[in-house]
Each structure stands twice: as structure tokens, then as C-alpha cells.
Amino acid sequence: MSHPHPELGPPPKLPEGGLRVTPLGGLGEIGRNMTVFEYGGRLLIVDCGVLFPEEEQPGIDLILPDFSTIRDRLDDIDGIVLTHGHEDHIGGVPYLLREKADIPLIGSKLTLALIEAKLQEHRIRPYTLEVEEGHRERVGPFDCEFVAVNHSIPDALAVAIRTPAGMVVHTGDFKMDQLPLDGRLTDLPAFARLGEEGIDLLLSDSTNAEVPGFVPPERDISNVLRTVFASAQKRIIVASFASHVHRIQQILDAAHEYGRRVAFVGRSMVRNMGIARDLGYLRVPPGLVVDVKTLDDLPDDEIVLVCTGSQGEPMAALSRMANRDHQIRIVQGDTVILASSLIPGNENAVYRVINGLTRWGANVVHKGNAKVHVSGHASAGELLYFYNICKPRNLMPVHGEWRHLRANAELGALTGVPKDRIVIAEDGVAVDLIDGIAKIAGKVQAGYVYVDGLSVGDVTETSLKDRRILGEEGIVSVFVVVDSTTGKITAGPHVHARGSGIEDAAFGEVIPKIEEALARSAGDGIVEPHQLQQLIRRAVGKWVSDTYRRRPMILPVVVEV
């Protein structure tokens, strides 16, 4: 197995007749999925998703792939293939189309409907090409065949990309539920046919590669939900991903069976379920879904609320309910169902919400105490089965953290893929398929691009470090007026602290140290304000560290007169 090296340089020019595969997100992380394929000077992109921030990224709304490596080649892009409609695969599309709005989007009916609704909010009208399983489309030099795969959202597709350099298959996210709610199976005969033709490089979903066996069928959840509905005395509040149509269908079926009405809460939930219903992916009995404004007219034991916030997102409806910052107030006897998995990194936020809901008297049902979620990603048993069908000549695990990628690589090796033909890459690592062999060629820039409100890319790692310091250690400001000629103090120093846990009066001890440092600098002829600020920062920082073992942000202000 080949491994990336931090000292990798930029990849050389792609040899004629070669195919280059460059992941810009989704490797070493769960989210931000984006892969660029290059052949003959033309580019094809598969997916363009977002990553959701963790606690050490305060104030960040979304994290995008880094488009810098393709920014000067936007005219070379023949299309963006979207495998399915989850945010970690389509959420970055508006930001890429801001740079060139006429790049064609290629995907299934539901996937395109979801991204078109999102783009409408950004005032972008995309050029789209709707495809379905079994279709083949020529996209520049890329001959794309689309294959049905089963996932936790309808209409998911894998894509086989044929070029003169060979055939690459990108699975997207998939599993092998043999009893899917919508009857749409992962098309194993199609993958077997591609395997017989010869898959030169397989890019395979790695998320559950560490999990043994097979993922349970989605329909197993229905009986658990019925049990919860049968015992619930008051309102039932369900938190789910706003795109998990299959899970919402099960909630609607249970609500209908137990004589409850359903209201959707949250803009994305209302929008996505409206789209799914209009396109026929969500079956809604007449009169079942009502507007949230009409809930006051219904008794508590006839209400089901479906909202976002299953990952503990601070601004989502469920988190706000837990914090008593929402029009819907949790009361004793309410039942809350978290019908989703825990995305790695979100555990603390989710348990904080669970504790908040429990505090107000809710009975919280989640994956830890009931079977209210099954994964949308193939486990190890399914992946082994899949590799034996596909017989890939080269394998590149994608969509997963490092432990997932490595586990997936081991599964490929067990099924007979030669270890020197298994490429474990990371974001930005270019992999070239030349003469039937996939090898790492170099590395391009593929860092995080932060979205903070309306700003995209303006927040840097340095900015985040400052935010973390401010949040964890507070700030100490020092104000001094000095004579511009002599450098001597004419007013101050005045010291104030916020969030540092140190009383302003305690800084009386450090003022002589500041005065001493500035007197010494004046004697040495140092009068430049920036240098004086550095002296103050060092004097105050050393005193705070020695006295309190803390490292707040020190903000010196020097005014010349």
C-alpha cells in the first residue's frame, strides 16, 4: 500500500493518455467530499460538499474544499456529478458556482431538486442534466455511466467514468440493504458487469469499514418507532437530518398509525420534505401534515414535531428547545427521538442537548438506548462482498477518517487486490492512473476554507487561534500614552481584563514592571510604537503566566503625543 508523505511536492504535468484523480476533501475526515478527475486537459468533478465545524472552530458556519487548485481552470470543467443530496456532498456547490455559474450539474431527480432549491437562495440558476441509473452520458472526454446504490437518501448513484486511460468507479455513499423501504437495491449485477469489463481504479466509501458484518435493514427501525409511539403520553419530537427522506417516511407512517398529526420545524426540513413530497419520494396521507402554527389547537398526545438538530448544532431547532430558546418549550412527559448517528466530533454537543432535554423532563430516545438509526454506509462484510464482485485492479479508499481508510484498504487486500495497487491518499494528493497502475504523483493545496456569515475564506487558522484564546483565556488590554520624542510615559498605564478571571485591581502589581520596561526602552532610544507594544506584551504576559499560569490575549495600545 502506498502512503502519502508530507514532503510531497506539486505533481508534474499529467502525461498524455493518463488520468489524474485529486481528492480536495473527504479523505481523513467525514464530510467536504470533492474529487477532481483530469484527462486530456479537461476536468470532471464528483461531488462538492461541506464539513461542519467542531468546537475548536468557534464562530465558523461551514468548511469548504479549497478551490484554489482549480480556480484558474474553471473553463476546463465539463461538469459536476453529484452522487446524492446530502450536505457533505452538495453543500459546497453554491460557493463553486459563485465563481462560474454555468458549470453543468449532473445528478438524479431528487439530488438536483435539492441543490436547485439551495441555489435559489444564492440567486443562482444552474444548468442541470438529470440522469438515472442505467444512463450513460458523455461529459467532455469522460464517458459516465450511472449505477443505482442504496443509501439513507433516495436516488443515490455511483458513477463509472470511462476514459482511454481506463475505467474508474466512484461509489459515492452506499450500503447493501436487501429490504430497502423504496425497493431500490444497490445494483450488484451492474457492478459485476463493470467488474467483468475491468475496473482499473475503484474509489470506495470507507465510513463503516471498521464495523464487522452487515448493516441492518432500514425497516428494522419501524417496529422500534411503533413501540415508542405506543408508549408516548404527550408530544413526540423527532430530530433528523433534513434530507433523510426514508427516516421521515417511517415517522409519518407511525404517526398515521397512532392518530397523530405531524408538523415540520426548521427551514431546511420544511423545504426538503416539501420537495420530496412533490416529487413522490415521500408518501403523505391527506391531512397528516399540518402547519406548526396550528399545533395549539391539538392535544399533546396527537402531535409529532419533526425538526433538525440531531448533531447538536447550536442554532438548530432541537438545541434551542433544550436551551429554552425556541417557541416550542419542552415539558415534562415529552418524548424526543434522535433518529440519526453521531458524526465523529459531535459527541459532546449531542450529549449536551440530551442532558438539556432531560433536565426539562423529556424522555430522550437515541441510538445509545434504542435502535432508532441504522447507518447508510456499507460495513466490512458488505465491502468484502462488493470487492469480490468488482475485482478492481487498483483501489483507493475514500470518504472516511484515517482509521476508516486504512481498514478499507485492508479489506481490499483480503479480497486479492495487490497491496502495491492500494493507494491510501489524503486531501490534495494527486493519484495518476497510467498504463493500468495507480500511483501518487504529488500534492496540491487542499486546506480548509472557512465560511463565517457572509465571509468566505477570510477567517484563517490564525484568526481561529485568536478566537480560541479569547474564549478560553480572555483578554488583557493595556493603554499607555508616551511622548513621541523621548518615549517616556505621559499617561497610564491603565490595565483592564475581560474573561481572564483576573480582577483589574490585581494588575497593580504589573504596572511597575510596565513602567520599568518602558523607562529602559526610552533610555535605549526606542520610541517606535510597535516595539513598545511588544515590550508591554512580553512584560504583562510573563507576569500573568508566572502569577496565574494563564495565557490570555494581551492587547497593548500605545498612543504618541
pLDDT digits (tens, 9 = 90+) for 513-548: 777 777 777 666 666 666 777 777 777 777 777 776
- With left for phi above 0 and alpha for psi between -120 and 50, is residue 123 left, alpha or beta? left
Would the annotation count 256 as a binding residue? no
123: phi then psi, degrees, rounded to nearest 5: 60, 40
Judge whether 222 is annotated as a binding position: no
Provide the 10 A C-beta neighbour count for residue 19.
25
Q: Which fold has domain 461-560?
A: Ubiquitin-like (UB roll) (3.10.20)
Q: Confirm if 383 and 411 have CB atoms less than 8 A apart.
A: yes
Was 376 annotated as part of a binding site?
yes
Q: Report the DSSP beta bridge partners of residue 478.
A: 495, 556
Residue 373 annotated as lining a ligand binding site: yes
Give, in order, the Cα–Cα distances in Å from 69 to each of 74, 88, 128, 457: 10, 20, 24, 14
What's the start-to-end Cα distance of the chain, in Å? 66
Share of the chain above pLDDT 90, in %: 44
pLDDT of residue 1 exceeding 50: no
Query: Cα–chain-centroid distance for residue 59?
Result: 15
pLDDT at 89: 94
**CATH 3.60.15.10 residue window(s) in the chain:** 19-213+375-453
Range of weakest confidence among 303-312, 335-344, 526-535: 526-535
Residue 59 has a pLDDT of 60
Q: H helices then E strands: how many in the chain?
A: 14, 25
* Neighbour-count burial of 546, counting CB atoms closer than 10 A to its CB (0-12 exposed, 13-18 middle, 19+ buried): exposed
* Integer Cα distance of 397 and 205 in angstroms: 6
Mean pLDDT of the chain: 85
Residue 436 assigned ligand-binding role: no
C-alpha–C-alpha distance, residues 218 and 177, integer Å: 7
CATH topology of domain 19-213+375-453: Metallo-beta-lactamase; Chain A (3.60.15)
What does the DSSP 8-state code read for residue 299?
Answer: -
Contact (Cβ atoms closer than 8 angstroms) between residue 446 and residue 25: yes
List where CATH 3.40.50.10710 sits in the chain: 220-365
Q: In the structure, what pLDDT confidence band is assigned to residue 121 with cuts at 50, 70 and 90?
A: confident
Highest mean pLDDT among 3-7, 62-66, 141-145: 141-145
Class for the domain spanning 220-365: alpha beta
Q: Quick one: which of 533, 551, 534 has its CA closest to 542?
A: 551
Ramachandran area for residue 60 (φ above 0: left; ψ -120 to 50: alpha; else beta): beta
Spatial separation of the C-alpha atoms in residues 46 and 39, rounded to whole Å? 14
* Interval 383-413: pLDDT, tens: 999 999 999 999 999 999 999 999 999 999 9
